[in-house]
Chain A
C-alpha cells in the first residue's frame, strides 16, 4: 500500500522512468532536426541579404524554375544519380556473387581490398583523386604510356570529363560498401536452391537473374535508396575535386545551397527554398523506388 500513498502505481512509475530515458534524445532531435526544418520553411518564404529578411511569399519557389544555376545543379545531380548508382549497384552485386563462391581462394584478401576505400574520409580521397586525375597526373601519364590516349584528357577542367571523374570517384569509394551488404545477404541464401537450379540445367546467368536478384530485392532496394539519398546530398567530393567547375558543370544541389549561404552574398531565404527542393526530391525518389520494388513483386 506504500505505492498508493506515494500517488503513483509501480506501472506508472516505470512508464515515467521510460519517458525520462528517451527524453534527452527526443529533445535533441526536436531542437536540431525538426525545429530547424520549421525554421527553414519560414525562411523559404523570405528573401534578402544576410540577416535582413522580408516576407516574399512563394517568390523563392517561383524563382527556382528560372534559376539557371539551380537547374544546372539539379541536372548534374541527376546525371550522377542515373549513371553512377546503377553502375555501382551492378558492380557491387557482381563482385559479391563472385566472392560468394565457396571454392574461391584468397576470398578474405579480395573482400578486404575492395572494401578498403570505405576507410578513407571523403575529403582525403577526393584530394587524392584530384591529383591522380590532374592534367599532368598519374592517370594521364599511365594512359599515355600504354598508348590508350595520345593527348592528356582534361579530367578536371573539361565539363564532360569532370562529371566522369566525379562518377569514377564515387564509384571507387562506395562499391565495396554496397558489396558488403549483398555479400552478407547472399550468405543467408540456402545453397540447395542453387543446387536444385543446377540440376534443372539453369545457367549461371539465369541463376543470377532468376534466383539471386529476386532474393536480394529488399537489400538492393535498401542500398539503392541510401545511395540515392547520398547522391542527392553530394558535397565533399565536388567541393574538393572540381570545386563545382568548370563553370557549373559539376556543382551539386548541396554545394549550391552552401554557395548561396556562405560563398556569395548570403541569401538564406532562397538557400532554404533550395534545401526544401532536396527534401522533396528525396521523398519522391524513395517513394518511387519502393513502388518500383513493390510492382515487381506483384
Chain B
C-alpha cells in the first residue's frame, strides 16, 4: 500500500515536471533545427543553430528590439525602485493619520485593471504628442511613465520597512545626517535584499510587458522584444527554427535573473501576501 502510494506520488511529480519543462526543451531543441524539421516533430538537437542565429540577426531587427527592451526595462526598474522605496519609507517612518488615509487610497489603484486605463492613457499621450513629442506616442517615455509607479511596490517597501531597525536612523541623526541622507546612506544599503526582490519583479514585468507597448509603440524601429516575437509568431510563412531562436534569446535575461536570484524572486512574490 505504502509502495503504491510512493509510486503514485513520484509518478505524478515526474509527469508534472516533464509537462512543465517540455515546452522549454522543445524550444531549445527547435532553435538548433531548420524549419521543416521542427514541423516534422524532430525532437533531437540539430546543427542549424548558427544558421538560425545569423538569419535572425540579418533578416530580423532583433538587436534594436533587444536594445529598446533593455533601455525601457532598466530605466523603469531604476525609477520604480527609487519612487516606490522613497514612498514606502515615507509612509512608514513619517507615519501620520493623514498619510495613512492617502496610503489606503493609493492601494485602491491596485484594483484598476490595465485594460480600463489603456483608452484614456492612449488619448492622454496622443494629446501631448504635438506639444511634447519626447513623451508622446511612440517614445520610450510613453511606455515607462504609466508603468513606473505601482501601489504594489509602495506597499511592498512599506511592509519591508516595518522590519527596519529605526535605532539606526537615530544614530544617523546624531551624526548630523539630513533626512534624505538617512534614506540614502542608511536605509538603502540596509535594505539591499528588499531592493533586489523589487528589482526582479519590476524588471520581469517590464521586460515582458506586451499590451501597452503594443498600443503606443508604432514604428518598427521602436518595437520591444515581446512585440517582435508576437509579430514573428503571427507571420504567414513562419521560419520555426528562427522564431524559436528568437524566443530563446528573449527568455535568456529573465531566466538568468530567475536562476541567479531564485531566493529573492520567491521573497518578492511572498512580499505581496504579507
Interface readout for A14-52 with B: 1 if CB under 8 Å, 0 if not? 110111111011101100111111011001000000000
User: Which of A14, A36, A262 has its CB near the most chain B CB atoms (within 10 A)?
Assistant: A36
Contact A123 B229 (CB under 8 A): yes
Q: Within 8 Å CB of B93, what residues of A?
A: 18
- Which of A22, A39, A117, A130 touches B99 (beta carbons < 8 Å)? A22
In the assembled complex, the Cα of A260 lies from the Cα of B20 at a distance in Å of: 35
Q: Which of B47-55, B59-67, B82-90, B188-196 contacts A (4 or more CB under 8 A)?
A: B82-90
Q: In this assembly, does A286 line the interface, its C-beta being within 8 Å of a C-beta of chain B? A: yes
Q: Is the CB of B230 within 8 A of A32?
A: no
Q: Are A114 and B24 in contact (CB under 8 A)?
A: no
Q: Chain B contact residues: over half helix, strand or loop, or mixed?
A: helix
Determine if A125 is an interface residue (Cβ-Cβ < 8 Å): yes
Contact (Cβ within 8 A) B208 A219: no
Number of A-B contacts (CB under 8 A): 233
Contact B115 A116 (CB under 8 A): no
Q: How many Å lie between the Cα of A172 and that of B96 in the bound state? A: 44
Q: Complex Cα distance A95/B10, Å?
A: 11
Question: Would you call A40 and B116 a contact (CB within 8 A)?
Answer: yes
The residues in A between 150 and 201 inclusive whose CB is less than 8 angstroms from any CB of B are 172, 176-177, 180-181, 184
Q: Is the interface of A mostly helix, strand, loop or mixed?
A: helix
Cβ of B247 under 8 Å from chain A: yes
The contact of A40 among B120, B145, B240, by CB within 8 Å, is B120
B148 nearest CB across to chain A (Å): 7
B111 adjacent to chain A (CB < 8 Å): yes
What B residues does A257 contact at CB under 8 A? 115-116, 118-119
Inside 8 A of A126's CB, which chain B residues have their CB?
233
Cβ of B163 within 8 Å of any chain A Cβ, yes or no, is no
Q: Is the CB of A21 within 8 A of B86?
A: yes
Interface residues of B (CB under 8 A from A): 9, 12-13, 16-17, 19-21, 23-24, 26-27, 38-39, 41, 83-84, 86-87, 89-91, 93-96, 99, 102, 106, 109, 111-124, 145-146, 148-149, 151, 154, 179-180, 183, 207-208, 210-211, 215, 225-226, 229-230, 232-234, 240, 243-244, 247, 250-251, 254-255, 258, 262, 266, 269-270, 273
8 pairs of A and B residues whose beta carbons are closest in the complex: A18-B94, A21-B90, A25-B87, A121-B208, A127-B233, A36-B120, A28-B149, A275-B116
Using A15-B94, A37-B120, A43-B120 as known contacts, list a sample of 16 further A-B pairs with CB atoms less than 8 Å apart, ordered by residue number in A: A14-B179, A18-B96, A22-B86, A24-B86, A28-B149, A29-B151, A36-B124, A98-B9, A98-B12, A121-B210, A125-B23, A127-B232, A128-B23, A275-B117, A275-B119, A279-B113
